[in-house]
Amino acid sequence: MKGKLLRAEGHLANVIPIHLDASFFFERAVRSLDRNHVDKALKYFRKAVEYEPENPVNHCNMAGILSEKGDYEASNAVLAHVLDVVDPSMTECYFYMANNYANMDRFEEAEQALVTYLEEDTQGQFMTEAEEMMELLYYELDRPAKLNRIKSRKGVVEHDQARELLEQGKFAQAAELLEGISPDYPDYLAARNNLALAYYYMGLFPKAKETIAEVLEQEPGNLHALCNLAIFHQNENRADQVLLLIKKLRVIVPFQHEQVYKLATTMGILGQHDTAYVHFRRLLKDEETAADPALAHYAAVAAYNTGRYDSAERLWRHVGKLDPGSEVSRYYLSGLEAVRQGEKDPEKLSYHYHLPFDEQFRQWENYGNGIPEEMKNDPLIRSSFFWALRHGDRATKLQVIHALGMIGDYEVQQALESFIQEPGEDQELVEVARSVLNGLDSEGAKQDDSPVLRPLTALSKRSIPKIESMTEQTETKPSSHWQAVVDRALQMSEAKAELQQEMERLWTDYVSRVHPEVPGTKQIEGLAAGLEYLAAKIHSRPVTYQSIADRYGISAATVSKYARQINKVCNAKPPVL
């Protein structure tokens, strides 16, 4: 007996004990996956979670298997548990959830999860995949995502938005956005360079110069900053400083398109037209930039300013082919011919792709109806207005003030208010500017702290039928449907008076633009919901399509559809900040 026991003990001594822990079940799960045994893998991952419930990786693995099996709801429940209980810092869970929602065709929720991932994740592990999904959602929802920032890219989204605003001539809005970026990302020099440009275009030279000095303190060789500083010194008539910077810039031969373009335009502005011509010609030889009419015009100006009249003529004719609807090439070709015939003395031309300032005013006076819409939005024309308002002679300033009154948007309001407060300004001009500003206010201008660019004269330039008095429609399209929409929105909304006023204002604008068309009875609920959603977004209220849809008893897609419809007509985009 005793011998048998020893043998038994000897036998037991050769058995390797199994440690049932999370790692054991994890390994079994991976092995099952390799063999394509998905159900077994799920069981093993569940056991791993049981042994280590505080380990978020185990939960995510289980969610991944559930997603593979097509059980997207269960997968998202696990991911939500990770974020709510286990480890809120696992921001990649939002990306996984977005994938699950997209697979369920719940695109609004997919967008919300994806935006949260991009705005909260610091590592950007799934940036490429997230960008691809963003394209899918753009296609499905027929609109860009409401994305304010990408945390892992440190202000890139905000900077891109600001650049678009600069290109559109919305300098005050761009400055507001860039001012918000700078404190958070002090090393983001491109944003600070563009902030300096925004100040510059607004005529705020001291702030522009201070900002560019901060950039050069961090990076003394920054090409954009050096170019900007040279132009700032030229505005201050500091010829010695300008010459020092010109010597530095003349020997630089950049290869990136953006830097070549920056150097070329800067050298042209500084009067170094030979150098500018060389760089502009380099850009025109490149396929990516060869078809840009503005670039061809700049090259033509550089050619003209250096006496290369034949080259200038060829380039302006090329501009005419690239942009046949523009008056620019015809105007400058006519001027070139006058110089050749001795009818006009040659003078240096400026590097702007629009007609000279005096010629613009002459044409606008001939139009009789004020400034054409496309010219109001031209960033170069707008910047020339703001420039002239601060640095032109008295007659030019007077013309500009009246011209700005014809534009009458948020940027104009900011510029005129700043002009009125400028110390030492001609008091008669100040009174004219104040009169124009008061006129804009009386036409329905709403001063708003948010950088939403609303046309201040949009309502005054239309014959707007009041909602409550639209009783002369045809019987087949009863006018009461108009009133029913805003009544329904006001009835369903729990908003305060400010938001209700916004809904009434927005709806009045919408009606004025689409009149005499009226909605059908089946559209009233959707239009009311879309109206409430858009008004809330304009005032930066926390709201989702789904929350509105739940109250109105309709789908989130319907709310989205009608909100986009109203927004498209009124261009009442929510703030970018």
Query: pLDDT in tens for each of the 577 residues of the chain?
Result: 334 333 444 444 454 555 565 677 677 767 766 677 777 778 877 877 777 777 888 788 888 888 888 889 999 999 998 888 888 888 888 989 998 998 898 988 988 888 887 777 766 677 777 777 877 777 777 776 666 565 545 556 677 777 778 877 778 888 888 887 766 666 778 888 889 988 887 778 888 889 999 999 888 888 989 998 998 888 778 899 999 999 999 888 888 888 898 899 999 989 999 999 999 999 998 877 788 888 999 999 999 999 999 999 999 999 999 988 778 889 899 999 999 988 888 888 887 776 665 666 666 555 545 555 655 666 556 766 776 776 667 777 887 787 787 777 777 787 788 888 877 788 888 888 888 888 776 554 333 333 322 222 222 222 222 222 222 333 333 344 567 788 788 877 766 667 777 888 788 778 767 765 655 556 788 888 888 888 888 877 777 888 888 888 887 778 888 888 888 787 655 433 2
Q: How many CB atoms lie within 10 A of CB 407?
A: 24
Residue by residue, DSSP assigns 238-287 as -HHHHHHHHHHHHT----SHHHHHHHHHHHHHTT-HHHHHHHHHHHHTST
Taking CA atoms, 236 is separated from 50, 71, 425, in Å, by 72, 68, 18
The C-alpha atoms of residue 24 and residue 464 are separated, in whole angstroms, by 74
Residue 224 to residues 173, 208, 233, Cα–Cα distance (Å): 21, 13, 14
Which two structure tokens, joined as six digits, stand for 319? 């501009």
Residue 15: the pLDDT is 47
CATH code for residues 467-570: 1.10.472.10
- Written as one string, the DSSP assignment of 86-137 is I-TT-THHHHHHHHHHHHTT-HHHHHHHHHHHHHH-SS-TTHHHHHHHHHHH
CB crowding 333-363: b at 16 or more within 10 Å, else e? bebbeeeeeeeeeeeebebbbbbebeebbee
Classified as helix, coil or strand, 64 is helix
Longest dimension (CA), the chain: 131
Instruction: Quote the CA–CA distance of 107 and 99 in Å, as a whole number.
Output: 10
Q: Match 């009125």 to its residue by tokens.
A: 420
**Domain spans of the chain?**
22-142, 357-442, 467-570
Under DSSP, the state recorded for 146 is: -
Asked whether the beta carbons of 444 and 459 are under 8 A apart, the reply is yes
Q: Work out the angle between the directed axes of helices 427-442 and 394-407 (0-180°, nearest 10).
A: 10
Residue 157: per-residue pLDDT:
65
- Is the peptide bond between 56 and the residue preceding it cis, with omega within 30 degrees of 0? no
d(CA 411, CA 140): 34
**Alpha helices (H) in 408-520, listed in sequence order:** 410-420, 427-442, 480-492, 497-514
pLDDT value, residue 274: 94
Name the CA radius of gyration of the chain, rounded: 32
Question: What is the C-alpha separation between 400 and 403, in angstroms, rounded?
Answer: 5
List the CATH code of the domain at 22-142. 1.25.40.10
Give backbone dihedrals phi and psi of 541, rounded to 5 degrees, phi first.
-85, 140
Provide the residue count of the chain. 577
Task: Supply the pLDDT for residue 569.
Answer: 80
Burial (CB count <10 Å: 0-12, 13-18, 19+), residue 145: middle
Q: What residues have CB less than 8 Å from 253, skipping those under 6 apart? A: none
Would you state the pLDDT for residue 373? 61
Nearest of 40, 100, 45, 98 to residue 68 by alpha carbon: 100
